[in-house]
Amino acid sequence: MSISSATIHLLNALSFSMLLFCIAVGLTVIFGVLKIINFAHGALYMVGAYVMFDLVARQSVPFWLALLLVPAVLGVFGLIIEWTLLRRIYERDITVQLLLTFALSLVLDDLVRLIWGSGVHATPQPTLLNGTIEVGSNSYPAYALFIILVGPLLATALWYVIERTSFGKRIRSAAADREMTASLGVNVPVLFTGVFALGAVLAGLGGALAAPIRSVAPSMGENIIILAFIVAVIGGLGSFPGALIGSIIVGVLMEFGPLVIPRSEMAFPYIAMILVLLIRPSGLFGKEMLDTRA
């Protein structure tokens, strides 16, 4: 493999990794605080992609404005879901939590079919990024490079929120000991609502970013949620740096794996997850929930 070809493969891996990070970090934040494995997270990503398609392709909303609106819409949607459904099952058995979130994902899948139909939809890319950029001797899509840049910016913003704001301090406190956090006067139910809304915002952002480069179709969240769970297991459930490193590992394996064994892009992430579970069951960074320091 030439250096030029390897560079393109690496950029492909990073582009997918940063998109996957948007979804996986929301999943791990929710688990880190609420202790709920949210099977509906992929469906929220799907809804975000559909809302982005509708705003940009049908309503002619400017792409950059839609990119701000979609996470906000999903945040409100997540707030409603947590307030009406999830807060009733926090103390219930994990089986109840899994069944409810799985059922919610099926409901959302049918909902998008009802509203937008069962067809495949395409979302136009923004004019500014609708082209290629020279990378060495090759051309590379500008939009894919934009996603690569979004990943570190998002990671930095989340680190700042979790480490440097009062909301973040409350999140870390609730992740460590929710009873003690409540005894200190923090309104834990409201905090939980905010955390789930934040996770929904991140899922919506992932869907909005994916819409211009991936087919928007029902059940598009099924594969991504499986990969997000693999990322969470590899990095450590509830670990912020684990979500970032795990996403990069999965993205690199999916891109370079088939070069070794053709048509094996899904096998390598599963193999990596199995190895991590055997060697370090808590994940690479699974020491404590929402620890932003590796």
Residues 6+ positions from 16 with CB-CB distance below 8 Å: 251, 254, 255
Name the one residue in this structure whose structure tokens are 């969240």: 221
CA-to-CA dists, residue 82 to 105, 155, 226, angstroms? 14, 24, 22
- The residue ranges of the chain whose pLDDT is under 50 are 288-294
Tens of pLDDT along 254-277? 999 888 888 777 889 999 999 999
Give the per-residue pLDDT at 1. 65
Domains of the chain by residue range: 17-218
Ranges of H-type helices in the chain: 3-34, 41-53, 63-84, 94-116, 142-164, 166-176, 178-183, 188-210, 221-235, 240-260, 267-279
Give the per-residue pLDDT at 294. 43
DSSP 119: S
